[in-house]
Structure 1
Amino acid sequence: MNPDRPDALQASACPAPPDASTTNADRSAWAVFLIFLRLGLTAFGGPVAHLAYFRAEFVTRRHWLSERSYSDLVALCQFLPGPASSQVGIALGLSRAGYGGALAAWAGFTLPSALVLTLFALGLSRWGAALAPGAWQGLQVVAVAVVAQAVWGMARSLCPDRQRVTLMVAAACLALLQASVWSQVAVMVAAGLAGWLWLQPGPTAAHEPLPIRVSRRAAWLSLTLFGLLLLGLPIAAGWWPGQSLELISGFYRAGSLVFGGGHVVLPLLEAQLVPNGGVSAETFLAGYGLTQAMPGPLFTFAAFLGASLQQPSGQGIAGGAGGWLALLAIFLPSFLLVVGALPFWESLRRSRHAQAALAGINAAVVGLLLAALYQPVWSGAILGPRDFGLALVALLALMFWRLPPWLVVLGCGLAGWLLGLIA
C-alpha cells in the first residue's frame, strides 16, 4: 500500500506467490509500458484473444493477480461500455503503477496499431489512386466475413434463449428502419429496460474482491466527468461549430455507448461519419478490413477514421492530428468508467436487476451488429458473385480453418487484386 496516495489506486497483495523477478522491476509506469508494448506488437486475434494473452502474461507468468480475480476483472469490464480488453489492460496498469501505470498500459497496447492505421489513412489520401481497385475491393469484402463471424459468435453467447433472440431481431429491425446514432442509443436503452422487466439472469458466480483499490471520491469525480462530457460535448459542438469539436463529441459518444466489444463500434461510427460525407463508405469498409490485420484493440479503427476525415473549407484539421484526436476521444470513456466503477463493482455484480438489464443490452448489441452486417457492410462490399464467393472463402478461413485474421486480410487483398486483373 502507498500511504502517500489515499485517492490513488492501491494494489493489495496477490494470492498467487509472486515471481521474484517481477516484485519491484515492473512496478514503474515505464516497465508497465514496455510489457504492454510487447503485447501491442504481438497480440493479434481480437478481444477474446487479447484476454487470453493477458491471462497468460499477468496471471500465469507474472502473478499480478489470481485466476479468480482476473475472471472477476474481465466480468467488470464486460459489464461496462467500451472495449473490454483495453479496459482490462487499463485496470491491470492501475493495479501495478497507479494512474500513470493505467496510461502506460493503454499507450503500450494501443499506439503500435494506431500509428500504422494513421499512416495508412494518410497514405491513402495522397496515393490512394495508386492502389489497385481489386485490392481495395478485397479489403472491403473481408469486412463481411469478419462481421459475420462476430455476429455468429456473439449471438451464440449473448442470445441463448428465445427472449434474447427476440430482442436481437427487434433491435436489428429498428436499426435498419432508422439508421442514426441516437436511434441506436434509444434501442439500447429500450433493450435494457426490457431486460430488466423480462429476463431472469442466472445465479452469481463465486468471486473474491478485486486486488485493486480506488477511493470513492476519485470514482465519483470520474463518473461525474464522464457524464458531463457525454452530455456537454454535443451541446458545445452545437454552440461552437467546427470539425474538431464534432469529431471529439462523436468519438467520445461512440466510446461511451458501445457494449459488446470492438466490432460493435462499427454501426455507431458508420452512422456518425458516412451519411454526412465525413468518410466515404468505401474508405470506411476498407479501413475496417485493414484493422482486422492489426495487433491490439479494434478501437484503433478510430485513428484511421479520424485521419481519413474530409476537411470542409475553413474547418479542417490535419489528418494526423485528426487521427490522434479521434483515438483519445474514443478511449477516454474507458479510463473514466474503469476508475468510476471499481468501488461499486461488488454492489453491481450482486444486483439481479443490473445483470438482467445488461443481458437485454447485450442482446440488442448483437442486433445492431446484425443490422450493420447488412448495411453498410454487405450492401457496400458485395457487388457481384465474385465478391460473394470471396467473402465465403474468407469466412471459411476464419471460422473453420481458424487462420489468423491478418493473414485472411492479406489474402483477400491479394485475391481481390487478382480477380480485378481477370475481370
Structure 2
Amino acid sequence: MADPADTAQREAAAAPGTPAEVFGAFLKLGLSSFGGPVAHLGHFRLEFVDRRRWLDDRAYSDLVALCQFLPGPASSQVGMALGLGRAGWAGLLAAWAGFTLPSAIALILFAFGIAQYRDLAQSGWVHGLKVVAVAIVAQAVWGMARSLCPDRPRAALAILAALLAMLLPSAAGQVAAIAVAGLLGWLGLKIAQPGGGQAHVYPVSRKLGIAALLSFAAPLAALPLWAAATGSSTIALLEGVYRSGALVFGGGHVVLPLLQAAVVPGGLVDNADFLAGYGAAQVVPGPLFTFAAYLGAVAGGPLHGWIGGLALLLTIFLPAFLILVGALPFWAELRHRAGIQTAMAGINAGVVGILASALYDPVWTSAIHGKADFGLALASFGLLTVGRAPPALVVLLAGVAGGIMAMGR
C-alpha cells in the first residue's frame, strides 16, 4: 500500500509551480552550491529529483545530456530548463536569477574592493564547502548509477565514458565520451526501454525554437561588423563577451581564456585585476560565468560599475538562453523515437561516467588533501545518504567543520 505522505508529495511535485517557488529553490542553491558545474548538477539532482521530485532520474539525465552538447554553462542551462518546465517562462527567469545573482553581486562588490579575497580564499570554512562538494557529487553518481546503469552493458559504457573523459580532460573529451556512449548504445544495447520515465514538457514550439536559433546566430555576425564600423570599445566589449558565452563548450574555466582575450589586450581590464577577479570567482557559489559581472564592474569606458557588471552578466548568459530554447523543442521530439531511446540509454550511462570522472578530477583533487578532509567528506556523504539530512544543513555543517579544522592546524 502506498504511503499517503509519499503520494501527496508526488502529487504536489506534479502540479504546476510558481515563479516564487522556483526562485526560492534556486536562491538557496545559488547561496550554497560550491564546487563548480559538476557539483552544481549534483546539488540540482538532490533538490529537484530526490527532494522535490519535479522530474525523475531519466528525464534529468536526458536534460543534462542535452546541455552537455550545447555551448554555454551546462549547469545554468539545466537550471533554466528546470525552471521553464516547472513554472513557464517566468520560472526560467526566476531559476536563472536565483542561481546566478548571489555570486554576481558578490563579485561586483569585490570589484569595488569591499571583499578581502586572499583571507576569504584561504579560510577554513571555504575549504569545508569544497570538501562537501565531494559528498554531493558522490551521492549524485551513486544515485544515477543505480537507476541509469542497472545492467552490465550500461555499467560498462559508464566505465568507458569515465576513462575517455579522464584521458581527454577537456570539454571536447566530455562531448566525445557522451557521443561514443550514445553510438555504442544505439548499435549494441538490446534493452526494453521503460515508458520514458516521468514526462517532462517544455512550453517551446518549433517556430519559437527556430527563432531562438536565428537570434543566437545573428549577434555573432552583426556585433563584429558593428564594432569594426564604429570603432566603439563598448560594442567590442559586448561582442567579445557574447562570443565567449556562445562558442565555449564545457563552461566554467573554459570561458576564461576567451574573456581574457576580450578585455585585457584592449586595455579595458588590467591583467592583474583580471587574475584577482578570477581568484575571487573560485570562492563564491554558483556559475563561474558570473565572472563577467566582475569584469563589467572594473572595466574602463562607458560600461563600468553596477551598470557594466549587470550588462556583461546578461550578455554572457544570453547565448546560453537562446541556444537552449532553440534546442528544446527538437530534443523533446527526437528523444521519443525508438532508435533515439536506445542511444539515450547509452548517453545516460555516459553521463554517469563523466560525473564519476569529474568526481575525481577536479572535485576530489581540489578538495581532499589529507585524512581530515577525507573524513569530513565521508561524514557528509553519510549524512546525505544514510541520515537523509537536508543538503543545505550538510553544507552548513561542513563549512563550520572546515573552519574548526583550520583553527586546529
Under TM normalisation by the shorter chain, which class is it? 0.5 to 0.7
Deviation, 1:353, is 0.8
2:11 matched residue in structure 1: none
Asked if structure 1 preserves the Cα contact closer than 8 Å seen for 2:108 and 2:297, the reply is no
1:401 matched residue in structure 2: 387
Does residue 46 (structure 1) correspond to residue 32 (structure 2)? The answer is no
1:89 matched residue in structure 2: 83
- Give per-residue Cα distances to partners, 1:44-78, cap 9 Å, x unaligned: 9634533688778xxxxxxxxxx9xx999879857
Asked if structure 2 preserves the Cα contact closer than 8 Å seen for 1:201 and 1:352, the reply is no
Asked if structure 2 preserves the Cα contact closer than 8 Å seen for 1:136 and 1:416, the reply is yes
Deviation, 1:196, is 0.8
Does residue 269 (structure 1) correspond to residue 252 (structure 2)? The answer is yes
Does residue 390 (structure 1) correspond to residue 380 (structure 2)? The answer is no
CA RMSD of aligned residues (A): 4.6
Asked if structure 2 preserves the Cα contact closer than 8 Å seen for 1:37 and 1:108, the reply is yes
Percent identity between the two aligned chains: 30
2:36 matched residue in structure 1: none
Distance 2:218 2:154 in 1: 32
Judging changes above 3 Å, is the alpha-carbon distance between structure 1 residues 308 and 398 closer, same or farther for their aligned structure 2 residues?
Answer: farther
Letter in 2 for 1:416: G
Asked if structure 2 preserves the Cα contact closer than 8 Å seen for 1:219 and 1:341, the reply is no
TM-score of the superposed pair, with normalisation by structure 1: 0.64
Q: Which runs of 5+ in 1 are unaligned?
A: 1-21, 57-66, 95-101, 258-266, 292-300
Judging changes above 3 Å, is the alpha-carbon distance between structure 1 residues 204 and 191 closer, same or farther for their aligned structure 2 residues?
Answer: same
1:9 matched residue in structure 2: none
Distance 1:415 1:206 in 2: 42
> Helix, strand or coil: the match of 1:403?
coil
1:336 matched residue in structure 2: 326
Structure 1 stretch displaced more, 189-198 or 105-114:
105-114
Deviation, 1:419, is 0.9
- Give per-residue Cα distances to partners, 1:227-254, cap 9 Å, x unaligned: x589x69xx8xx9997765654554467
TM-score of the superposed pair, with normalisation by structure 2: 0.66
Deviation, 1:386, is 1.4
Q: Which runs of 5+ in 2 are unaligned?
A: 1-14, 33-42, 68-73, 261-273
Number of residue pairs the alignment of both structures matches: 345
Matches within 5 A, 1:210-249: 216-222=206-212, 228=217, 247-249=241-243
1:61 matched residue in structure 2: none
Distance 2:343 2:106 in 1: 40
- Give per-residue Cα distances to partners, 1:95-139, cap 9 Å, x unaligned: xxxxxxx1x221223313322122233455632234262122112
2:117 matched residue in structure 1: 128
Asked if structure 2 preserves the Cα contact closer than 8 Å seen for 1:306 and 1:326, the reply is yes
> Helix, strand or coil: the match of 1:46?
helix
1:145 matched residue in structure 2: 135
- Give per-residue Cα distances to partners, 1:267-302, cap 9 Å, x unaligned: 653455499998899766644xx44xxxxxxxxx24
Letter in 2 for 1:90: L
Matches within 5 A, 1:14-413: 33-34=19-20, 36-37=22-23, 39-41=25-27, 46-47=44-45, 49-50=47-48, 80-81=66-67, 86-91=80-85, 93-94=87-88, 102=89, 104-123=90-109, 126-131=115-120, 133-203=123-193, 205=195, 216-222=206-212, 228=217, 247-249=241-243, 251-252=245-246, 269-273=252-256, 286-287=283-284, 290-291=285-286, 301-307=287-293, 320-341=310-331, 345=333, 348-413=334-399
